[in-house]
Amino acid sequence: MANLNVKFMGLNLKNPIIVGACTLSATVEGAQELERAGAAAIVYRSLFEEQIQWERAQLANELDEYTDRNAEMTSIFPTMEHAGPKAHILKLSEVKKNVKIPVIASLNCVYDVTWFDYAKQLEEAGVDALELNFYQMPESVDKSAKEIEDEKVKIVATLKKRLSIPFSIKLSPYYTNSLHFINRLDQAGASAFVLFNRLFQPEINIRTERHLSNFNLSHPGDFKLGLRYVGLLHRKIAGGLCGSNGIYTYEDVLQMLLSGADVVQMVSALYKNKPSYISQVLSEIEKWMDEKGYKSIEEFRGKLSDNELKASDVYYRAQYLDYVLHPEEVVNKYPMR
């Protein structure tokens, strides 16, 4: 029987499938269902600083509506304070208490001080690790790529000093040189990297002339960009690697592992196929390993990474070389109409 055990961020996991941050694990019952299905760990839904700030401002506006109506009303309503991250952390703590698998807290902040404050509060809630979302898109033409990256590196270096639990960085692929930036974050103390974050892209309804807020799942094959970067980074940084975004099948999981990933995150596949789908994927991975004669994942993890392939150009200019060296195959595969 194949052994699916892996190690990620110092955590001993029973297999390489982590459930990414989503509403499926937002309740104790949901988290327990994922655990029964075979999930090795869960990332609890993200704590967004912007949402907390918006809710705080909304509460303040609602309370201010009655402030000056008459003298008596100022004494009828007691002073109220927005709960901030407390409600989120309370629910997270309940999930952590009721499952045996590792629970990773997800954090998404804007300001340095809140990164440090909220990260510490999440650590004190008893989670096994943190996942920090560095997803912000550039907002100013005056800010250089170096300035943006320097800010993030400083956050990682500070958190490394203040936290006692491991933390991963979930990145978007839109940094000027993602490989160099990841290497800097790795040297600053990040425990692992999740490649890549799925960003909510703006969409406009041209009939109503309004922006749309759609719940868009990832698509099969979306993981291939992450696959390229995982393959390029395997054994070139100290931190662990997690493939994310568009992991749907056991073949997708195996591709990530062969390129050098320690684990993968699944979300959209579970919304479409229900949590029980995890057990099917794990069964298919075991079957593949048995057929290949692999006793453990470590025997083949990174086998097809850039580090192992040495002189291969597959992670660099594969499509271009394919066309130049074998144009007839490309033409036959994609005939002109």
Q: Where are the domains of the chain?
A: 6-304, 309-337
Angstrom distance (rounded) from CA 334 to CA 337? 9
- pLDDT for position 181: 97
- pLDDT for position 111: 81
pLDDT at 334 over 80: no
Virtual torsion, Cα 292, 295, 296, 300, nearest 10 deg:
-30
Where is pLDDT greater, at 49 or 112? 112
List the one residue out of 103, 96, 99 whose CA is nearest residue 9.
103
Q: Looking at residues 144-162, what average pLDDT do you find?
A: 95
Angstrom distance (rounded) from CA 60 to CA 43? 31
Asked whether 114 and 120 are in contact (CB, 8 A), the reply is no
- pLDDT for position 319: 56
What's the whole-model pTM score?
0.85
List the one residue out of 100, 267, 26 whose CA is nearest residue 170.
267
Asked whether 95 and 88 are in contact (CB, 8 A), the reply is no
What is residue 177's three-state secondary structure? coil
Asked whether 169 and 134 are in contact (CB, 8 A), the reply is yes
pLDDT at 299 over 60: yes
pLDDT single digits (tens) 214-248: 667 888 989 999 999 999 999 999 999 999 999 99
What is residue 265's three-state secondary structure? strand
- pLDDT for position 210: 87
pLDDT at 69 over 60: no
Q: Where are the beta strands (DSSP E) in 96-236?
A: 103-108, 129-134, 167-171, 192-195, 204-205, 210-211
pLDDT single digits (tens) 261-295: 999 999 999 999 999 999 999 999 999 999 999 99
Residue 38 φ/ψ, nearest 5 degrees:
115, 5
- pLDDT for position 317: 66
Q: Looking at residues 65-79, what average pLDDT do you find?
A: 50
pLDDT at 83 over 70: no
Q: What CATH number matches the domain at 6-304, 1.10.10.10, 3.10.20.90, 2.170.120.12, 3.20.20.70?
A: 3.20.20.70
Q: Looking at residues 141-151, what average pLDDT do you find?
A: 90
Q: Where are the beta strands (DSSP E) in 10-166?
A: 11-13, 17-19, 41-48, 103-108, 129-134
Buried b (16+ CB within 10 A) or exposed e, 147-166: ebbeebbebbebbeeebebb
Q: How far apart are the first and last CA of the chain?
A: 50
Angstrom distance (rounded) from CA 260 to CA 212? 37
Q: Looking at residues 70-97, what average pLDDT do you find?
A: 71
